[in-house]
Structure 1
Amino acid sequence: MARPRSTLVSIEDTPFYHCISKCVRQSWLTGVDKYTGKSYEHRRDWVESRILELAEVFAIDVAAYAVMSNHLHLVLRVDIFEANSWTDREVVEHWHQLFKGTDITQKFAQGEVIESFEVAGLKHSIAQYRSRLSDISWFMRALNEPIARRANKEDGCTGRFWEGRFKSQALLDETAVLACMAYVDLNPIRAKVADTPETSDFTSIQKRIKAAIKGEQPEALLPFVGNEQKEMVKGLMFSVKDYLQLVDETGRIIRADKRGAISPESQKILNRLNIPQENWLKLTTEFSRLFKGPVGTPQELDVYCEHLERKRRQGAANCQRWLCSS
């Protein structure tokens, strides 16, 4: 039986979550359907464009994504501090980029006078929107529903396009976050639909590489900010150059037809994460198979389960085996 989303998300323990949505029909989300020969490649642009659009609207950052043939992966970071810092008008403006809102919120957004009897309703709507704009379930709803409608219209049918629920798992430490990001970014290489990260179309790694060539980082993605944690800059506490090199070298090892090895520079990242190279390769090739629930050290898993009042520590054995170097 599926768990309520409220028993899976604990912002107190981590803002990072790995989300997966799969198509429920035989026809593909993207790519070429091997049964009919029909190409759905154009849908990849639908999905990627929508992901990047939502990253600008929600108080949720996109750390990684990959749009595959019949499913998609996302690594998201919930930023409730950003949502709470928005003014009431900013909350309404963000919400109206995606949804119509109410007559009262429309009046408020247009600067019209709000009558006294409308104030309570307006405040309720704003509080509701603020909460939803930092909610993973609403992010995934805003992503999946428009894609499903467009695909159904194109296919001339009705009914479910996605599985009933998207899957999500908490990433409880930086090792889990970085390993999951690399796992997501290397999806096309493992699936043998791309030879290198830079040729992996409609993925976050390709977008990061294109920006890095210009000495930049993609505005729509959660940035790498290096190791300057003392300034509390929002972002991933590694350098983008180190991450791109680590993913490239990992991809070369995964590909049987390419020579590859972890360089001393990339080994420094693994040393910082306190994870052996063989564990890293296992995580980045089998992450979804190894972990069906939250991912982190046994100590972090204990705290997470305690906060959510969960008696069973799902995946504890694999967390112990693959995330602990001892």
Structure 2
Amino acid sequence: MSNHLHVVLHVDAEKAKSWSTLEVLQRWHQLHKGTLFTQRYLRGETLPNYLVELVEKAAETYRERLMDISWFMKELNEPIARRANYEDNCTGHFWEGRFKSQALLDEAALMACMAYVDLNPLRASMSKTPEDSDFTSVKKRVNSAKRKHQPKTLYPFIGNPRKDMPSGLPFKLRDYLELVDMTGRIIREDKRGSINASLLPILKRLNIASENWLCIATEFEKRTGNLVGQEHSIDHYCERHQRQRKPKRQNLQLIA
């Protein structure tokens, strides 16, 4: 968008924990210089044991940062701020405040948030169709689908849940594109509720009523709190993270 951005992130902690020291340093050095010792390690130089220990400690710090959403946002926002300040010939803070994050606890919450983000330019009258919306994942996915593949820079759609699933989004790409297209048509034509969105298999499987879907697809941030999901997902999260105060139930209105 012209004055803000939305990203839907998946932190694959298990994969990050499996990286070797070399893999961590290679990833970190794509963004930062690291230290003199980590640079020597990457060049394959022989280091004494005490320096290897320092390198391994540095790698563990970098590993944690590579799994941290706050660090991700810092790395994403800083170049944008620098470029904007340079173009405007000014200094100071570019972003109004710290980013806001919401935990998506289940498939329903994930799908609702993705559709909300992909339809943002259309709702703001910046585009006429989802596939023409610049800087959106749906446009990138449509362009890649025309070439019969999925973009490598985005988490892939891998189909409906099943045993031994590969890593990816547990939906069919075609289902998601149809869902976004139909939701976008309803928003643009100002005929909320005129099409029964629950007819789509993906909404049936996720147990989302059509009226709730249309509400959440246009007002995701207003209708949800820091935790988004079905009641049992919220309960499980609070129990697992030892939270005493549970989110208000009105945060869950997208679930049928």
- The TM-score normalised by the length of structure 1 is 0.74
CA contact (8 A) 1:293 1:315 kept: no
Contiguous gaps of at least 5 residues in structure 1: 1-67
Higher relative contact order structure (alpha carbons within 8 Å, sequence separation ≥ 6): 1
Q: 1:314 to 1:263 in 2, by over 3 A?
A: closer
Q: What SS class does the counterpart of residue 78 from structure 1 fall into?
A: coil
Q: What SS class does the counterpart of residue 243 from structure 1 fall into?
A: helix
> Counterparts of 1:215 and 1:95 in 2: how far apart (Å)?
32
Which residue number in structure 2 is paired with residue 261 of structure 1?
195
1:122 aligns with 2:55: yes
1:75-224 matches, within 5 Å, as 75-224=8-157
Shift of 1:262: 5.0
What one-letter code is carried by the residue in structure 2 that aligns with 1:144?
Answer: N
> Counterparts of 1:76 and 1:174 in 2: how far apart (Å)?
14
Which residue number in structure 2 is paired with residue 243 of structure 1?
176
Q: What SS class does the counterpart of residue 8 from structure 2 fall into?
A: strand
Deviation larger for 304-313 or 240-249: 304-313
CA contact (8 A) 1:88 1:126 kept: yes
> Counterparts of 2:46 and 2:97 in 1: how far apart (Å)?
42
CA contact (8 A) 2:225 2:251 kept: no
Which residue number in structure 2 is paired with residue 297 of structure 1?
230
> Counterparts of 1:228 and 1:168 in 2: how far apart (Å)?
26
Q: 1:87 to 1:93 in 2, by over 3 A?
A: same
What one-letter code is carried by the residue in structure 1 that aligns with 2:109?
Answer: A
Which residue number in structure 1 is paired with residue 205 of structure 2?
272
Deviation larger for 139-148 or 253-262: 253-262
CA contact (8 A) 1:189 1:196 kept: yes
Contiguous gaps of at least 5 residues in structure 2: none
Q: 1:216 to 1:314 in 2, by over 3 A?
A: same
1:282 aligns with one of 211, 215, 227 = 215
- The TM-score normalised by the length of structure 2 is 0.94
Shift of 1:258: 8.3
1:79-124: CA deviations, max 9, x gaps?
0122122221111000000011011100000001112221221111
1:144-168: CA deviations, max 9, x gaps?
1111112112211111111331110
> Counterparts of 1:137 and 1:156 in 2: how far apart (Å)?
27
- How many pairs align? 255
CA contact (8 A) 1:250 1:262 kept: no
What one-letter code is carried by the residue in structure 2 that aligns with 1:252?
Answer: R
More strand by proportion, 1 or 2? 1
> Counterparts of 1:135 and 1:250 in 2: how far apart (Å)?
32
Which residue number in structure 2 is paired with residue 60 of structure 1?
none
Q: 1:258 to 1:280 in 2, by over 3 A?
A: closer
1:225 aligns with 2:158: yes
Which residue number in structure 2 is paired with residue 19 of structure 1?
none
